[in-house]
Amino acid sequence: MLLSLPALHLQTSEHHPFFQLPHRRLGPWCSPTGSPAPLSCETGCGEGSWILVCRLLVPTQVSLLSMEEDIDTRKINNSFLRDHSYATEADIISTVEFNHTGELLATGDKGGRVVIFQREQESKNQVHRRGEYNVYSTFQSHEPEFDYLKSLEIEEKINKIRWLPQQNAAYFLLSTNDKTVKLWKVSERDKRPEGYNLKDEEGRLRDPATITTLRVPVLRPMDLMVEATPRRVFANAHTYHINSISVNSDYETYMSADDLRINLWNFEITNQSFNIVDIKPTNMEELTEVITAAEFHPHHCNTFVYSSSKGTIRLCDMRASALCDRHTKFFEEPEDPSNRSFFSEIISSISDVKFSHSGRYIMTRDYLTVKVWDLNMENRPIETYQVHDYLRSKLCSLYENDCIFDKFECVWNGSDSVIMTGSYNNFFRMFDRNTKRDVTLEASRENSKPRAILKPRKVCVGGKRRKDEISVDSLDFSKKILHTAWHPSENIIAVAATNNLYIFQDKVN
């Protein structure tokens, strides 16, 4: 629910603060033409294309399972797994994101924790371990807070995680809850200094009167330690809940979006942000739509898109004006009057928007469909994929149990040829844009044996139900795939099912 209380804003310059900063080089990861590097990531959606690599669960806050246990459905791939009975609300995964190389995979949960998984190194003796991930680092990113001015509790839930391209031995990522964005540095340390002059071996200060000789500190080897340290905290700039963060292609700025505003930040400036979109009306009773998602163009640092609850997408150019209230392009599909119903506005709300890797297309996800838009055609999408059209007759019950407000995400594969999104009953869908084939797969704890081949699932709408089909009435709406991620250059996918993280890969012939 939106609040009409007065907002506390940061002091911002009348001029664009980031345009006054000296421009640095884009870095080796961006080609001069801005065109993406060629990727080898082709797959079909046919039967038997995907196998389960492993099922991972983040270390629970209640207890950790022993590494000496026998391998069963609770402990797979030598990772810390916790039993399903230990799952709490705080353990539910709320975001999944691969880094730019795909070697690391980060998850955030409702308890404010970030768990990073690292890919196992492939060896000649263990070829079967290709694509497997193990726990690399775990840290508490956000804590619950209380806003005394508004008498509101601020949840610690991680809404989004975004990686920055790696430029040295350390990794950097952005994580956000409803109000605060944090920049984290994740680094490794395998040496420690010894031989301090003013401290003893336990770190306590020594009496200067007892120091008679000068020692030169030396570095000694130690067990590898992964450290996560907060480098920047970007706070107090959003009145409403942050739903999106996106790193710009110049890698100097990023934006954060809430229900009514989008702010532009510089990574070096934490006490000042620039408001680039503000759709808040003078009278809140005139409010007709809210911002649901926003993302920067992958190659053009001046271009971004944001979607709304009315099913529209706006493309903005920051070169046109500092305040991008006037869009450059407006994407909207006319509604078919014959399909008009009480739920039309709710199911047309866009829950996710993603640029393709090439930057030519935009993909949007609403409640029932995934649509692909060409940047050069605004009046209708070039492709529309039905995710679970069999739920159209059950919108009334979905409205009563609030499932109709679920926000599903969508992702591209590395070559933009296949798209993936989630559904209910732990189903997730893949659509091949070239062959127009699609498949429904299931992330199930019952079939969580490593290297198990996923069998396509089918939903029976009416009439006689076949043996391998599942009835619409039998679907479990408490099990839902909201968050997914695709490896940037390989056919490896991560699927978050409540408190489980499943890693799948295409079958190697």
Please give the pLDDT value at position 450.
Answer: 73
Phi, psi angle pair for 325, to nearest 5° = -70, -25
d(CA 427, CA 388): 10
pLDDT band at residue 131 under the 50/70/90 scheme: low
For the ranges 65-69, 322-326, 488-492, the lowest mean pLDDT is seen at 65-69
Please give the pLDDT value at position 162.
Answer: 97
Query: What's the whole-number average pLDDT of the chain?
Result: 83
Length of the chain, in residues? 509
Q: Which residue has the tokens 């493309």?
A: 315
Question: Does residue 380 lie within any of the structural domains?
Answer: yes
The answer to whether 72 touches 445, Cβ cutoff 8 Å, is no
Count CA atoms closer than 13 A to 213's CA, side-chain side.
4
Question: Does residue 73 lie within any of the structural domains?
Answer: no
d(CA 382, CA 373): 6
Answer whether residue 62 shows pLDDT above 50: no
The residues near 325 (Cβ < 8 Å, ≥ 6 apart) are 277, 278, 279
Question: Does residue 4 lie within any of the structural domains?
Answer: no
Please give the pLDDT value at position 129.
Answer: 59
> Across 57-112, where does the E strand assignment appear?
93-98, 104-109
Domains: count for the chain: 1
d(CA 489, CA 99): 11
Question: Does residue 79 lie within any of the structural domains?
Answer: no
Answer whether residue 13 shows pLDDT above 70: no
What is the H or E stretch that residue 396 is in?
Answer: helix 395-400
Answer whether residue 55 shows pLDDT above 90: no
Q: Over range 456-476, report the average pLDDT.
A: 84
- Please return the burial class of 172, using the count of CB atoms within 10 Å of its CB with bins 0-12, 13-18 and 19+: buried
The answer to whether 107 touches 113, Cβ cutoff 8 Å, is no
Answer whether residue 2 shows pLDDT above 60: no
Question: Does residue 30 lie within any of the structural domains?
Answer: no
d(CA 479, CA 487): 24
The residues near 383 (Cβ < 8 Å, ≥ 6 apart) are 371, 372, 433
d(CA 34, CA 112): 36
The residues near 66 (Cβ < 8 Å, ≥ 6 apart) are none
Answer whether residue 406 shows pLDDT above 70: yes
CA dihedral (399, 401, 403, 405) positive or negative: positive
pLDDT band at residue 506 under the 50/70/90 scheme: confident
pLDDT band at residue 378 under the 50/70/90 scheme: very high
Count CA atoms closer than 13 A to 90's CA, side-chain side.
15
Question: Does residue 3 lie within any of the structural domains?
Answer: no
The closest alpha carbon to 491, from 417, 396, 404, 427, belongs to: 417
Q: Which residues of 225-262 are buried (b: 16+ CB within 10 A; e: fewer)?
A: ebebeeebebeebbbbbbbbbbbbbbbbbbbbbbbbbb
The residues near 95 (Cβ < 8 Å, ≥ 6 apart) are 107, 108, 158, 159, 160, 161, 483, 496
d(CA 72, CA 478): 25
Q: Six-digit token pair at 130?
A: 């290709």
What is the H or E stretch that residue 399 is in?
Answer: helix 395-400
d(CA 318, CA 274): 12
User: Looking at this protein, which amino acid is placed at residue 217?
Assistant: P
Q: Which residue has the tokens 């199930």?
A: 444
The residues near 339 (Cβ < 8 Å, ≥ 6 apart) are none
d(CA 299, CA 102): 19
Please give the pLDDT value at position 53.
Answer: 81
For the ranges 5-19, 283-297, 346-360, the lowest mean pLDDT is seen at 5-19
The pTM assigned to this predicted structure is: 0.81
The boundaries of the domain holding residue 432 are 50-60+87-121+128-506
DSSP count for the chain of H helices, then E strands: 2, 32
**175-226: pLDDT as tens digits:** 999 999 999 999 988 888 787 888 877 778 888 888 888 888 888 888 778 9
Q: Which residues of 158-170 are buried (b: 16+ CB within 10 A; e: fewer)?
A: bbbbbbbbeeeee
State the CATH number of the domain containing residue 219: 2.130.10.10
d(CA 310, CA 289): 6
The closest alpha carbon to 273, from 354, 180, 355, 153, belongs to: 180
The answer to whether 309 touches 290, Cβ cutoff 8 Å, is yes
The answer to whether 173 touches 106, Cβ cutoff 8 Å, is yes
Question: Does residue 81 lie within any of the structural domains?
Answer: no
